[in-house]
Amino acid sequence: MTQPLDRRYDAQKPDAIDVAALETFPYEYPGKDITVSIDTDEFTAVCPWSGLPDFGTIRVEYIPARALIELRSFKYYLLSYRSVGIYQEHAVNRILEDLVRCAKPKWMKVTADFKIRGGVHTVASRVYRGKR
């Protein structure tokens, strides 16, 4: 009889997330609230416990104050998660905090809708309510 293997694939620490990739550009209509929605179904990170990949859709909705998130930079930022070991719920918190720090929106919501793993579907979201 074969013994089960204790496998683990190494993952990078969260400090490998490239926050410096994020850029903004001026919102030319301050005081005129619009809702900006960004989503991608190409988000990948890894489970910090097993090293197995997590795949999901990231949705960001926000009301800009003075800056808009530059989409190319957002894509590079998300790509930096590819080998990072981070729990799904922690990824939502981290993404929201990084984007708020960068863009300083009036309001923002980040939702992560992860693919089913082990028969379990996870959706996590968090809202930031800034000064209006």
Instruction: Note if 102 is an active site residue.
Output: no
Question: What is the CB neighbour count within 10 angstroms for residue 34?
Answer: 10
Give the active site residue among 54, 98, 102, 113: 54
Question: HSE on the CB side for 24, CA within 13 Å?
Answer: 17
Give the active site residue among 10, 15, 47, 102: 47
State both tokens at 116.
Answer: 């089913």
Q: Alpha carbon of 2 to those of 5, 6, 7, 9, 50: distances in Å?
A: 9, 12, 14, 21, 21
Instruction: Note if 54 is an active site residue.
Output: yes
Catalytic residues: 47, 54
